């Protein structure tokens, strides 16, 4: 007799995973938070010590305001003063030109009035004319000379002092039959100078008023539109430096109107990003803490389940239990997790070979608990009650599991049970009896596959009153070369198929075809090959249930 068993699947097949140290990036990628790392890195870089300190503790804004005024005010003041001085100078020059024109006009008219024959010898002619000039408020001095330059007559006093305080013009006396001469007239320009000084003072006063108004307006505008926004921005920066995520108030309906508004809007966007990064950092820390706690709990669970597997393995029978009877037997036992809900029993008792395969409700830990109940029940049924009929064993197992799970009364909390197949072989009579509850017996004989069906109802479930009577034993022919297979539905319920095609169920027929293709091989090779075939059929699909298959050939 030979036996074969495939070791239980590793945690990668869907069971609980052992947990070792995991890097932050691996944890984020596992939990679907891979993008959090970028946010946290950005927040750490921006919030590094001193990263915002230079900006938040920049130059004092009052000093900035004074600097602006010291740079702008002298330029504006010089421009205004030069403009006013230029205007005053142009006005003075125009007034002086007009004064000179008036002086020329007076001199010309007086010279024309004096142009008579013998004028130089007639004081009665030039005297009144010179006196008439003296009646002009600006008049200061007039002198009449002949062609030789000799003084003929004069009026007023010869002016003393600087030339810019007076206007001096001359007019010629000439004509046919007239003696040549000249008339010189001097008018005072002091009034023009006084007017210019008054205009200069007025321009200076006006400039000062304009400058004061400009300074007040500029200061108010700068404080309102530059200093105040910058102060709000700096206050927000200082708050952000201490991780108080304060945004700059931009008003209700906000549209950037200048560079400071645009900077404030960019700062608010940065604060929002920092807030997200900080929240992501806190989330990451919480995830790391939770992961550490989960890893510790996971290790404890894995260790506990590993110990439970050793307990379950100790309950499974020895593979050589039927060796003395000459039964060639191999077992494929592969729980979905570390422990499973499938169970098999092999025992030679009273000269009979008993083979049992059970598929309990669920898999993993819940299914494993049921297998312990089934193992205890089978031991009592075979050794205490000495049952040898497959149908009787099923009936006893049904009652004992239902009683153990307290499913006989109303309102039972459990709705669990099992499917089971029992074969009893009598080597002396070469007879094989089978009874099944939800499981069938598959045979391959002379290149043909046959199914010996059992009852449809499982064992241990709460009664409904509509159950069929207990199944009787089914005799199965024992012929040389016949191979028998008892398997759970975890073997047949394989989803897969060709790549790119919608997955479909393999089913009993698909398993039977693969067993038939290997019918000439030894039982160990058959089961090893079947496992490879099932893995290839699944492809990328995951296995769904525990797998148990007991193959045997009778002597």
pLDDT band at 435 (very low <50, low <70, confident <90, very high): very high
Per-residue model confidence (pLDDT) at position 154:
85
Question: What does the DSSP 8-state code read for residue 408?
Answer: S
**243: helix, coil or strand?**
coil
Residue 22, pLDDT above cutoff 60: no
Task: Report residue 428 as tokens.
Answer: 């002396």
> Comparing 46 with 62, which gets the higher pLDDT?
62
> Which of the listed ranges 260-274, 308-322, 370-384, 463-477 does the model predict with the highest average pLDDT?
370-384
What distance separates the 2 farthest-apart alpha carbons in the chain? 191
Alpha carbon separation from 498 to 491, 495, 539, 540, 542 (Å, rounded): 19, 11, 8, 11, 15
Residues 253 and 233: their CA atoms lie apart, in Å, by 19
Contact 313, 375 (CB under 8 A): no
Topology of the domain comprising 317-553: Phosphatase 2c; domain 1 (3.60.40)
At 243, the pLDDT band (50, 70, 90 cuts) reads confident
Is residue 56 pLDDT above 50, yes or no?
no
* pLDDT beyond 60 at 49: no
Cα–Cα distance for residue pair 153/144, rounded to 1 Å = 5
Q: What is the pLDDT of residues 482-536, one digit of tens each?
A: 999 999 999 999 999 888 889 999 999 999 999 999 999 999 999 999 999 999 9
The Cα–Cα gap between 509 and 172 comes to 147
The whole-number pLDDT of residue 528 equals: 96
Q: What is the pLDDT of residue 179?
A: 73
Could you give the CA distance from residue 221 to residue 188 in angstroms, rounded to a whole number? Answer: 50
pLDDT category at 45 given cuts 50, 70, 90 is: low
**390-414 residues labelled b (16+ CB within 10 A) or e (exposed):** bbbbbbbbbebbbeebebeeeeeee
CA distances from 20 to 242, 290, 291, 294, 303 (A): 36, 14, 11, 11, 13
29-42 average pLDDT score: 53
Contact 166, 100 (CB under 8 A): no
Answer for the pair 496, 506: CB distance below 8 angstroms, yes or no.
yes
- Segment 455-485, tens digit of pLDDT: 888 998 887 766 665 678 999 999 999 999 9
pLDDT at 2: 44
In the chain, what are the domain boundaries? 11-47+243-308, 317-553
Predicted local distance difference test score (pLDDT) of residue 25: 57
Give the pLDDT confidence of 144-203 residue by residue, as tens digits. 888 788 888 888 888 776 666 788 888 888 777 677 888 888 888 878 778 878 877 887
% of the chain exceeding 90 in pLDDT:
32
Q: What 3-state DSSP class applies to 450?
A: strand
Residues facing 418 on adjacent strands: 360, 459
Query: Residue 57: pLDDT above 50?
Result: no
How many other CB atoms are found less than 10 A from the CB of residue 321? 20
Q: Rounded to whole angstroms, how far apart are CA atoms 459 and 468?
A: 12
Residue from 533, 477, 482, 528 nearest 328 by CA = 482
Q: Would strands 328-334 and 504-505 be described as parallel, antiparallel, or unpaired?
A: unpaired
Residue 365 has pLDDT above 80, yes or no: yes
What confidence tens digit (pLDDT) does each residue in 188-212 have? 887 877 887 887 788 788 878 877 8
* CA 94 to centroid of chain Cα atoms: 76
């Amino acid at each position: 007799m030979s036996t074969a068993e495939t070791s239980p699947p590793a945690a990668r097949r869907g069971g609980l995973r052992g947990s070792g140290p995991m890097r932050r990036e691996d944890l984020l990628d596992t939990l679907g938070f891979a993008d959090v790392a970028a946010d946290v890195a950005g927040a750490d870089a921006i919030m590094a010590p001193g990263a915002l300190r230079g900006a938040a503790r920049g130059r004092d804004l009052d000093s900035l305001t004074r600097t602006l005024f010291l740079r702008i005010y002298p330029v504006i003041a010089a421009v205004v003063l030069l403009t006013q001085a230029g205007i005053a100078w142009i006005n003075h020059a125009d007034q002086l030109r007009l004064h000179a024109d008036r002086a020329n006009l007076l001199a010309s008219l007086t010279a024309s009035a004096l142009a008579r024959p013998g004028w130089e010898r007639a004081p009665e002619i030039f005297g009144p004319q010179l006196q008439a000039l003296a009646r002009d408020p600006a008049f200061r001095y007039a002198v009449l000379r002949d062609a030789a330059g000799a003084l003929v007559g004069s009026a007023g006093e010869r002016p003393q002092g600087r030339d810019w305080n007076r206007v001096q013009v001359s007019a010629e006396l000439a004509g046919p039959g007239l003696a040549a001469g000249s008339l010189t007239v001097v008018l005072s320009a002091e009034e023009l100078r006084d007017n210019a000084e008054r205009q200069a003072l007025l321009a200076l006063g006006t400039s000062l008023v304009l400058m004061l108004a400009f300074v007040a307006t500029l200061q108010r505008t700068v404080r309102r539109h530059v200093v105040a926004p910058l102060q709000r921005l700096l206050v927000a920066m200082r708050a952000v430096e201490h991780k108080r995520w304060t945004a700059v108030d931009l008003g209700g309906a906000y549209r950037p109107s200048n560079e400071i508004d645009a900077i404030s809007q960019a700062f608010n966007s940065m604060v929002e990003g920092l807030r997200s990064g900080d929240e992501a950092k806190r989330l990451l820390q919480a995830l790391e803490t939770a992961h550490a706690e989960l890893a510790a709990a996971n290790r404890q669970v894995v260790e506990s389940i590993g110990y439970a597997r050793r307990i379950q393995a100790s309950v499974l029978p020895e593979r050589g239990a039927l060796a003395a009877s000459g039964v060639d037997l191999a077992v494929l036992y592969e729980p979905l997790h570390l422990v499973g809900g499938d169970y098999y029993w092999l025992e030679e008792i009273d000269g009979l070979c008993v083979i049992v395969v059970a598929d309990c409700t669920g898999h993993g830990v819940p299914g494993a608990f049921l297998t312990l109940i089934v193992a205890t029940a089978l031991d009592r049924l075979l050794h205490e009650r000495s049952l040898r009929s497959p149908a009787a064993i099923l009936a006893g197992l049904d009652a004992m599991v239902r009683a153990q799970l307290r499913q006989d009364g109303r309102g039972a909390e459990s709705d669990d049970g099992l499917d089971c197949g029992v074969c009893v072989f009598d080597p002396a009579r070469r007879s094989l009896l089978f009874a099944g509850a939800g499981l069938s017996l598959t045979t391959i004989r002379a290149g043909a596959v046959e199914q010996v069906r059992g009852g449809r109802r499982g064992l241990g479930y709460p009664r409904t009153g509509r159950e069929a009577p207990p199944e009787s034993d089914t005799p199965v022919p024992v012929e040389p070369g016949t191979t028998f297979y008892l398997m759970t539905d975890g073997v047949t319920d394989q989803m897969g198929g060709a790549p790119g095609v919608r997955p479909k169920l393999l089913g009993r027929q698909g398993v039977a075809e693969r067993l038939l293709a290997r019918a000439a091989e030894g039982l160990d090779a058959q089961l090893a090959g079947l496992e490879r075939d099932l893995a290839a059929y699944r492809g990328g699909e995951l296995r769904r249930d525990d797998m148990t298959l007991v193959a045997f050939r009778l002597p």
